[in-house]
Amino acid sequence: MKPGQSPSASTLNTHLTDETGKECMKSVPLAAISRTSSLADSAPRLEYIISNVPRNTLWAASPLVRRMSSVPPASRRYSSLAPFSLNRLQTAQVVVIGLGGIQRRTLIGGSSSRNLLAHMELTANNNPQSATAQNAFYQALLRANMPEIIVERYQTGRFATSPACESTYLRALERVGQAGKVMAMGGNKAVEGQTGGLNTEQLQAIGQAVAAQSRGGNIALARGKNGSTGTGAKDSPLYVVVEESIGGTIFKWAKFLLYFGLIAYFSLVLVTVGVEATGILKKVGGAQNNEAQPQHQTVRFSDVHGCDEAKEELQELVEFLKNPEKFSSLGGKLPKGVLLTGPPGTGKTLLARAVAGEAGVPFFFMSGSEFDEVYVGVGAKRVRELFNAARAKAPAIVFIDELDAIGGKRNARDAAYVKQTLNQLLVDLDGFSQNSGVVFLAATNFPQLLDKALTRPGRFDRNIVVGLPDVRGRIEILKHHMRNIQISPDVDPTVIARGTPGFSGAELENVVNQAAVRASRSKAKEVTMSDFEWAKDKIMMGAERRSAVIQPKDKVMTAYHEGGHALVAMFTAGADPLYKATIMPRGQALGLTFQLPEMDRVSMAKREYLAYIDVCMGGKVAEEIVYGPDNVTSGGANDLQKATQIAHAMVTQMGMSDELGNVDLDSNYDRLSSETKQNIEKEVRRLVEEGRQRATKLLNSKRKELDLLAEALVEYESLNKDEMERVVKGEKLPDRPSSIPTMPLKLPSALLPPGVGGEGVAGAESGSTASKSDAATPPRPGKGGAKL
């Protein structure tokens, strides 16, 4: 150590000479060291940092340094140092705050230390993109105790950096007392590690792009707090605000609903297919068993009446199943299928239940509506399952009710899956694999709707028609249902059977049940004949509407209307006998005139059809005679409809027109010429008009009887055949209670029709809009009576 030199300066020179030179020269490239001295002279110097040293510090420094002029920071090029030569630096005092207080260190180095530091600065300036050169220069400055130069040089951002440079920069910040900034740099470093080293502008651009892309290309803005630009750090988060338009919002919800609907639909389909395939619901609710248990079948053939022929056919089938050797000894085979057809309520299902009770073999049943569902293939699958179960227990019987639900005629325009169930049924009945010991039993009300391939022999070998019971069948059915009912001695099933032509077995059972219910409601000990008559009238004509408020004038007009029907039916040859006439509202009609044939009919003559047309026109003609043509009401609309239908059928179907002859004009009516259609209309109009003329002639000749019958209907409301005959003869009915209230009703005489007088009977005017008659379809062979 030289005299007059401080220990600090001596230590610094020694350190720069020995250690700094050795370590720093290892990382300096040889090309940078071999550069000319002219580049070193032109590189930036340390003058800037010394020019910024406080004045009192320069005062204590070397006189050479105090006389140096300050150069503004704008004149430097790369380094944070001013462009002066280190060779002219003689003495520099630096104030360092250490543990021992304020120390003054004089930077007086030898030529070797200054040259080394200058070389390292020149190398760093000439290689701004070399992080290694920058780190070597930073290390040299840090060892030279010049952290302020490191901080300023690093913050310019003009020089390359690396983790080593950043670590040196952080150490320099700690030496200058900026520990808080060091912690902030650590947080930014973490954020930068998450964002991939992107700056604020890049983060903002990425946020805008991502937000705009996810929101349908709308405007996206990135902001910090209070409108400032965020950096992404914890204390300065990056806010992305997306401004959506109405169209974008609608599109977003529409897309959501579309995706949700598709997902829900396919999920439902998958769940349903899984349930159908695995049979989970069937397992939870119990396995579906289509086999009739013998202990539950209590119906026998002895309980079936009114269809003896059908019963014999099925009894033969049951006997064949029980003893096949009896029929196969001569080569006979078991029939494959039996088809039961007929009107509703005739006992087709009851016959099948009797077969199940008497067969002594497994009996499988199913309804036609149980096969098909909304999903494709379910119906065919259930047909296979039904027949497989029957084959496993052969010999067996399979019964399908309402066969038309799955066996309808096939159409070329139908989809393929619509015909899968029928195709599977055809294969199971008579396909490539022949069934052994399985008999197919089916029932339908519409045999004309079945496919021809289904009804051919080989699939249905027998077609059994179960028709309406005749009078003897009705008597047996009534006796069967009256077994468990307490009936009075005056009840005669034969009388009830003769009065119910055209009734099915189900309707007869309903008659017996309704009569029993009425007797129980009236607290009677037995069911009387009046109860059966009431039940029969309720089923044929409808329930009485006793609560309906009918004006007296409307009652009088309805009485004349129904009286006209009754008189024409009573005095016209070929008309069905009268059964009952009433002005009590029933169903949709204000009044009814009911006719019943004496016995079951199988055909009708032309004279009977013409008589029916006359009876239909009697109601309107009676109104015209009593009130005049201008006061006729709309009550005869239903009568005109039925008369026109009968006349049209006579002309087009039955060949009962002399002008058109014996030609079928109904099958291809649309293909007829306009001239032929006009002739048909003329004939229909002629038949109806002739019927009206005959009814007018008869009622004009029976005007007195018409008034008597109308008065009796107003007084008693309902009259049967015998009572109407007595009233027409002028006899009284003392045994019948009157329905007229005891208090007299006084009405102006102008409202009373001619021939009607006395108190308690109201007149009538035109304007009635309710139907006064309700006639049934024209009596055809096998049907019952007619309502007018």
Of the candidates 459, 465, 403, the residue with the CA atom closest to the CA atom of residue 428:
459
Give the mean pLDDT of the chain.
75
Confidence of residue 224 (pLDDT cuts 50, 70, 90): low
Q: Would you state the pLDDT for residue 183?
A: 64
Average pLDDT, integer, range 179-200: 59
pLDDT in tens, 413-469: 777 766 888 888 888 888 656 656 788 899 999 999 999 989 998 888 889 999 999
Confidence of residue 551 (pLDDT cuts 50, 70, 90): confident
- 95 pLDDT higher than 70: no
Q: Would you state the pLDDT for residue 292?
A: 75
User: d(Cα 381, Cα 378) in Å, to the nearest integer?
Assistant: 5
Confidence of residue 88 (pLDDT cuts 50, 70, 90): very low
Cβ neighbours, 10 Å, residue 663? 11
| 495 vs 757 pLDDT, higher one | 495
- 3-class SS of residue 244: coil
- 346 pLDDT higher than 80: yes
Q: Would you state the pLDDT for residue 188?
A: 58
pLDDT in tens, 140-161: 888 888 888 888 888 888 888 8
**Cβ distance 615 to 776 under 8 Å?**
no
Active site residues: 562
CA distances from 755 to 193, 567, 741 (A): 116, 17, 21
**Cβ distance 605 to 781 under 8 Å?**
no
- 349 pLDDT higher than 80: yes
pLDDT in tens, 479-514: 999 998 999 998 999 989 988 888 999 999 999 999
Q: Would you state the pLDDT for residue 619?
A: 93
User: d(Cα 478, Cα 507) in Å, to the nearest integer?
Assistant: 10
pLDDT in tens, 291-321: 877 667 788 888 899 888 888 888 888 888 8
Average pLDDT, integer, range 539-552: 83
Q: Would you state the pLDDT for residue 587?
A: 77
Average pLDDT, integer, range 198-224: 58
Q: Would you state the pLDDT for residue 502?
A: 87
String of b and e for 165-174 (b: at least 16 CB within 10 Å)?
bbebbbebbe
> Which span out of 91-100, 361-370, 657-666 was modeled with the highest average pLDDT?
657-666
pLDDT in tens, 611-636: 999 999 999 999 999 999 999 988 88
Of the candidates 180, 167, 224, the residue with the CA atom closest to the CA atom of residue 200:
224
Q: Would you state the pLDDT for residue 69?
A: 41
Q: Would you state the pLDDT for residue 264?
A: 95
User: d(Cα 428, Cα 426) in Å, to the nearest integer?
Assistant: 6
Q: Would you state the pLDDT for residue 240?
A: 66
Cβ neighbours, 10 Å, residue 689? 13
- 557 pLDDT higher than 70: yes
Q: Would you state the pLDDT for residue 202?
A: 63
String of b and e for 249-279 (b: at least 16 CB within 10 Å)?
eeeeeeeeeeeeeeeeeeeeeeeeeeebeee
Dihedral through CA 696, CA 702, CA 708, CA 712, nearest 10? -60
Average pLDDT, integer, range 231-255: 77
User: d(Cα 777, Cα 788) in Å, to the nearest integer?
Assistant: 10
- 210 pLDDT higher than 80: no
- pTM (global) more than 0.95: no
Average pLDDT, integer, range 334-356: 89
